[in-house]
């Protein structure tokens, strides 16, 4: 069946360093991908998205890379801050209409002071 | 309101009891979703409402689960004859039908079945 998975369940980085979180997806028909951040006790919060006609998109301190050939997605966070500590999920969907999201298992990112 | 609101924030119930979880989406959002998040896991899609269309119920795990959306706004997720494996955080999200999948999530209801 369709699935989205993450390579690493946990990641620790030093404050100020860059971090990279990876994700693999299996549905080649998906054309819309989103990264969410979830802090303890809260719902997921949208970070950045990318459509399948792009291979890179940048936001504030975050960059998402999409490699459709190998069905791989990554989230890069630059100059990490303590507030970046959270669980990060990738999700896949379709651009056409509002669609359900298929989520990966999540990666817990810990920023060490 | 400013965001998606869910109630109660926590619910403890006994095995076999029925529970109702409520979601108030962002005003103007026509799409509403329910997901379930088990401890340490990703989110599992349950059901999706889009305007006046028939809901997509493909993610409901059993016939003990049902959901309604009244007046195109508030939604209630009902779990009948709860089981211990139903214990999870139930998250609601809403979105505009602008062609993107950007969904805004509530804080969830943590359900514990004893």
The pLDDT-based confidence of A6 (bands split at 50, 70, 90) is very low
What are the φ/ψ torsions at residue B13 (nearest 5 degrees)? -140, 165
Residues of B in contact with A86 (CB under 8 A): none
pLDDT at B100: 57
Grade residue A97 by pLDDT with cuts at 50, 70 and 90.
low
- The closest CB to that of A43, out of B45, B97, B106, belongs to B106
* Distances in whole angstroms, Cα of residue A67 to Cα of each of A23, A26, A55, A80, A102: 10, 12, 6, 24, 18
CB contact under 8 A, A105 and B50: no
Q: What is the pLDDT along chain B (114 residues), one digit of tens a residue?
A: 579 999 999 999 999 999 999 999 999 898 999 999 987 778 999 999 988 888 999 999 999 999 999 887 999 999 999 999 999 999 999 988 755 557 899 999 999 999
- CA-to-CA distance for A91 and A74, rounded, in angstroms? 11
CA–CA distance from B39 to each of A9, B52, B86 (Å)?
14, 33, 11
The DSSP string of B64-84 is TEEEEESTTS-EEEEE-S--G
Q: How far off is chain B from A22, nearest CA to CA, in Å?
A: 15
Q: Sketch the domain layout of chain A as residue ranges.
A: 4-97+104-112
Where in chain B are the domains? 5-94
- Inter-chain residue contact A101 with B45, CB threshold 8 Å: yes
Domain B5-94 has CATH 1.10.230.10: no
CATH placement of domain A4-97+104-112:
2.60.40.10
Query: To which residue do tokens 């069905």 refer?
Result: A71
User: Residue B109's beta-bridge partner residues?
Assistant: B90
């Amino acid at each position: 069946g369709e699935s989205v998975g993450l390579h690493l369940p946990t990641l620790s980085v030093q404050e100020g360093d860059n971090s990279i979180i990876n994700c693999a997806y299996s549905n080649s028909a998906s054309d819309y991908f989103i990264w969410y951040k979830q802090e303890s006790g809260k719902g997921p919060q949208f970070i950045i998205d990318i459509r399948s006609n792009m291979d890179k998109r940048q936001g504030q301190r975050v960059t998402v890379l999409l490699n459709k050939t190998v069905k791989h997605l990554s989230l890069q966070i630059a100059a990490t801050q303590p507030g970046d500590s959270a669980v990060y999920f990738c999700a896949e969907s379709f651009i056409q209409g509002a669609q359900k999201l298929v989520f990966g298992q999540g990666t817990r990112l810990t920023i060490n002071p | 309101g400013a965001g998606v609101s869910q109630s109660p924030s926590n619910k403890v119930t006994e095995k076999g009891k029925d529970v109702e979880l409520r979601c108030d989406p962002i005003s103007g959002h026509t799409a509403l979703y329910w997901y379930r998040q088990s401890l340490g896991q990703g989110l599992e899609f349950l059901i999706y409402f889009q305007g006046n269309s028939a809901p997509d119920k493909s993610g409901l795990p059993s016939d003990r689960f049902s959901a309604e959306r009244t007046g195109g706004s508030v939604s209630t997720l009902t779990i009948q004859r709860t089981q211990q494996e139903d214990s999870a955080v139930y998250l609601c999200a809403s979105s505009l039908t602008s062609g993107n999948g950007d969904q805004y999530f509530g804080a969830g209801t943590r359900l514990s079945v004893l």
